[in-house]
């Protein structure tokens, strides 16, 4: 009896366990169905839903949706998908397992619902570059697993919630380019893991909070606000700080000498405030090997420019203008061999003596002082005249010579009908001659061609500005990239504008977009490019009709064109040029579907004598993984981005899910090669299969997590240029991804050119 009772008891336990498991499974299936219904109710995936009956997990196959094995949604990623709808249509409370939410550049509007605080497992939140309004919900403070919050480039208003101070896992906080008001919460000082704090271009007021506990901060961007009070001394304790931007505020007091303790500081911008006192010598003593960009212009600083500025051997840009500085310009400036920009504008009390630009390294300023005495012998007088001539040739042209030239041209045009007619003919003639003559000559033509930049002439827009199509009187059609008014006043965009002009003016390649000219007008700034009829590669792949035009041969040709352009930039230019933002958005197509690399605003000339450290630039999803822990930029960053774009061209969309299963040693997810093909195109021919396999093999090699094992672009370019007489024996329908993942570190040694490029 006892044995039978025991057996019965065990059977009861089994029955209860099975019932409980079925209940859990049923509950999970029900929850998955609930999530699917929540996605359906938005209408954002309407074109992906078939009319026949589908399984409960089918939503896991929709674009931008990633689920776990139980069918629960883990990620919603619709970056750059055109939605133009209310963000509140997505019922956030329906996704308790959600870890990633990326709805950036989707055209969303409305306010962020308070229910977003119910996403308790959310780690990444990006609503960047939309048209969101209203306040930031305090419920964001409930999302304690968050690593990234990015709501920049919106129209959000109200206060920065103090509840954000409880997000102890937060690494990046991007709230810039909004209309936020009030004080910066002191609670942000509790974010010990915070590395990136971007609150610029808002209406924030009050003091800068104490952030001394934020020991991992690398970037502080608080410019273009109304912040007041002193610069906190505690900032000097942030030993990892790489960039400090506090420009265009109402800050007062002295520049803290404690900033000299920031040994890794590369970028310091305190311009356009009301700072007084002298420039602390300590900044130049301790930051001498790291500091590249210094802007203290537009303040009330007095005293001399410290001679120690010459110790900062890495300085490239120095702006000290519009202050009350006195004394002579330090002779040590001549030791700054990397200096490319020096602003000493409107320093009325400063001596006119400028150090010679060709002074050697290690210049002895004791000997040089004897040559600056204006009452010495004839040799001294000759030296003085030479220095004065240098002033006229370097500092004053922008202030004096250029206005005089403009005045002279205006007078000649006014009093000489013949010359005026010649200029009109030239203005309406060839674009190259227009811009070689005068960057502003064709301004009226541009205004008429775009109807004063009417929205109907706009063919694209982004964070940088808007792109317009313009048909000039000569019959030539060009594309104009015009900076928005706010961007034109922002130093970062101004630098990108000038950087793009500098790069594109010095290079020529058939697969790099041609820059016809630019305009620095007092009303607007714009670049003028060769017109690309088919727009960006991203848009072509996103539109089914256009994607069908891009057959396999054209797609392979696009990959080759990008490879040739990057090879030219990396290996044929001196110094080499790194683009830093290779993505499908920055590849343009002409009427023949040929590829052209564009948008060089973030590009960088590689200096063989420099560490080439810089701030992270690029587009999410295309940035090389090593840039997450190092700021060193080299050609291999472009190689990785090229690999992503090459896969995107073959797959027809960004390979986000595939990249997540891809490592430097093997492809974890076993998939056939044909699973990577864009299903909108017909089956490729044998020759096209050969080309596709070549593209995929090279793309996989480019995606190595170790940059030194990625192939050089010159190697890829030569591979694509070699024409095989016989198609490959490999079939994409019988070969797995693993079989063609020939990682360099496992199968061969590096070539000499690759070793040099690492």
- Is the C-alpha dihedral spanning 289, 290, 292, 293 positive or negative? negative
| b/e code 70-101 from CB counts within 10 Å (16+ = b) | ebbbebbbbbbbebebebbebbbebbebbbbb
The Cα 529–Cα 251 span in angstroms is 41
What is the distance, to the nearest Å, from the Cα of residue 238 to the centroid of all Cα atoms in its chain?
25
Going by DSSP bridges, is the β-strand pair 243-245/293-295 parallel, antiparallel, or unpaired? Answer: unpaired
CA angle 116, 120, 122 (to 5 degrees): 80
Crossing angle (nearest 10°) for helices 686-702 and 635-651: 140
Residue 481 counted as an annotated binding residue: yes
Residue 268: half-sphere exposure toward Cβ, Cα within 13 Å:
29
Listed residue (261, 267, 206, 273) closest to 236, CA to CA: 261
Residues 6+ apart with CB under 8 A from 166: 141, 144, 187, 190
How close are the terminal C-alpha atoms of the chain, in Å? Answer: 79
The Cα 212–Cα 169 span in angstroms is 17
Q: What is the DSSP letter of 18?
A: H
Residue 161: half-sphere exposure toward Cβ, Cα within 13 Å:
19
At 156, which helix (H) or strand (E)? Answer: none
Detail the DSSP E strand segments found in 458-504: 458-461, 465-471, 477-483
Widest CA span in the chain: 127
The Cα 722–Cα 605 span in angstroms is 29
Residue 45 CB neighbour total at 10 angstroms: 17
The Cα 456–Cα 752 span in angstroms is 52
Q: Is 609 a catalytic residue?
A: no
Q: Please name every residue paired with 253 in a beta bridge, in sequence order, or none if there are none.
A: 275
The Cα 618–Cα 146 span in angstroms is 22
Q: Is 478 helix (H, G, I), strand (E, B) or coil?
A: strand
Catalytic, out of 102, 201, 581, 691: 581
Q: Is 439 helix (H, G, I), strand (E, B) or coil?
A: coil
For 530, the token pair is 């060769």
The Cα 584–Cα 653 span in angstroms is 10
The Cα 554–Cα 546 span in angstroms is 12
Alpha-carbon distances, residue 666 vs 374, 594, 642, 731, 745 (angstroms): 73, 33, 19, 20, 11
The Cα 612–Cα 336 span in angstroms is 17
Residue 232: half-sphere exposure toward Cβ, Cα within 13 Å:
17
Detail the DSSP E strand segments found in 93-190: 100-102, 109-111, 124-126, 131-133, 148-150, 157-159, 172-174, 179-183
Q: Is 293 helix (H, G, I), strand (E, B) or coil?
A: strand
Residue 599: half-sphere exposure toward Cβ, Cα within 13 Å:
25
Four-CA torsion 175, 180, 181, 185, nearest 10 degrees:
-30
The Cα 164–Cα 651 span in angstroms is 39
Residue pair 157/181 in contact by the 8 Å Cβ criterion: yes
Catalytic center residues? 581
Q: Output the known binding site.
A: 481
Binding residues for ATP: 481
């Amino acid at each position: 009896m006892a044995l039978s009772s025991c057996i019965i008891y065990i059977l009861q336990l089994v029955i209860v366990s099975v019932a409980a498991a079925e209940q859990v499974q049923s509950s999970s299936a029900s929850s998955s169905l609930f999530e699917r219904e929540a996605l359906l109710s938005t209408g954002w995936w309407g074109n992906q839903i078939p009319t026949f009956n589908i399984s409960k997990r089918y939503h896991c196959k929709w674009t931008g949706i990633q689920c776990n094995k139980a069918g629960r949604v883990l990620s919603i990623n619709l970056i750059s998908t055109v939605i133009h709808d209310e963000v509140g249509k997505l019922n956030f409370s329906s996704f308790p397992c959600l870890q990633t939410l990326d709805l950036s550049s989707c055209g969303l509007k409305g306010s962020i619902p308070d229910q977003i605080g119910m996403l308790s497992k959310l780690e990444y939140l990006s609503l960047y570059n939309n048209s969101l309004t209203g306040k930031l919900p305090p419920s964001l403070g409930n999302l304690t697993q968050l690593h990234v919050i990015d709501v920049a480039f919106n129209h959000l208003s109200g206060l920065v919630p103090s509840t954000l101070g409880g997000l102890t896992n937060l690494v990046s906080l991007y709230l810039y380019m909004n209309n936020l008001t009030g004080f910066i919460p002191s609670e942000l000082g509790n974010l010990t893991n915070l590395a990136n704090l971007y609150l610029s271009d808002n209406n924030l007021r009050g003091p800068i909070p104490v952030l001394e506990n934020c020991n991992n901060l690398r970037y502080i961007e608080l410019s273009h606000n109304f912040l007041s009070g002193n610069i906190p001394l505690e900032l000097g304790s942030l030993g990892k700080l790489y960039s400090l931007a506090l420009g265009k505020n109402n800050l007062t007091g002295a520049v803290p000498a404690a900033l000299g303790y920031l040994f890794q500081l590369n970028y310091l911008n305190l311009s356009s405030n009301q700072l007084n006192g002298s420039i602390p010598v300590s900044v130049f003593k301790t930051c001498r090997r790291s500091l590249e960009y210094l802007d203290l212009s537009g303040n009330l600083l007095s005293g001399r420019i410290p001679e120690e500025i010459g110790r900062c051997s890495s300085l490239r840009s120095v702006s000290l203008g519009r202050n009350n500085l006195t004394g002579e310009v330090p002779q040590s400036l001549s030791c700054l061999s990397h200096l490319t920009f020096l602003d000493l504008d409107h320093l009325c009390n400063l001596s006119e003596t400028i150090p010679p630009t060709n002074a050697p390294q290690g210049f002895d300023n004791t000997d040089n002082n004897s040559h600056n005495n204006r009452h010495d012998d004839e040799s001294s007088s000759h030296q003085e005249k030479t220095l004065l001539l240098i002033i006229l040739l370097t500092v004053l042209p922008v202030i004096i010579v250029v206005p005089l030239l403009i005045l002279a041209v205006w007078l000649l045009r006014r009093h000489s009908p013949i010359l005026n007619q010649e200029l009109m003919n030239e203005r309406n003639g060839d674009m190259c001659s227009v811009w070689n003559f005068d960057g502003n000559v064709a301004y009226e033509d541009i205004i008429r061609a775009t109807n004063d930049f009417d929205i109907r002439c706009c063919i694209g827009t982004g964070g940088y500005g808007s792109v317009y199509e313009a048909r000039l009187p000569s019959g030539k059609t060009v594309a104009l990239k015009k900076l928005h008014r706010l961007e034109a006043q922002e130093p970062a965009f101004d630098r990108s504008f000038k950087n793009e002009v500098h790069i594109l003016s010095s290079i020529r390649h058939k697969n790099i977009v041609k820059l016809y000219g630019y305009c620095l007008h007092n009303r607007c700034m714009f670049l003028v490019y060769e017109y690309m009829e088919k727009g960006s590669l991203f848009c072509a792949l996103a539109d089914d009709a256009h994607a069908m035009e891009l057959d396999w041969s054209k797609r392979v040709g696009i990959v080759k064109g990008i490879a040739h352009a990057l090879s030219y930039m990396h290996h044929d230019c001196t110094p080499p040029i790194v683009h830093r933002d290779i993505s499908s958005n920055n590849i343009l197509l002409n009427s023949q579907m040929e590829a052209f690399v564009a948008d060089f605003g973030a590009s960088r000339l590689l200096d063989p004598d420099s560490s080439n450290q810089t701030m992270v630039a690029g587009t999410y999803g295309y940035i090389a993984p090593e840039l997450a822990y190092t700021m060193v930029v080299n050609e291999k960053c472009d190689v990785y981005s090229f690999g992503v774009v090459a896969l995107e061209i073959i797959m027809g969309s960004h390979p986000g899910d595939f990249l997540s299963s891809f490592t430097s040693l093997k492809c974890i997810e076993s998939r056939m090669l044909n699973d990577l093909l864009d299903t909108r195109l017909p089956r490729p021919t044998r020759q096209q299969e050969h080309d596709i396999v070549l593209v995929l093999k090279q793309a996989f090699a480019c995606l190595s997590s170790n940059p030194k094992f990625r192939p050089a672009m010159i190697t890829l370019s030569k591979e694509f240029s070699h024409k095989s007489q016989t198609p490959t024996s490999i079939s994409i329908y019988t070969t797995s991804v693993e079989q063609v993942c020939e990682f360099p570190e496992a199968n061969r040694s590096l070539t000499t050119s690759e070793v040099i490029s690492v």
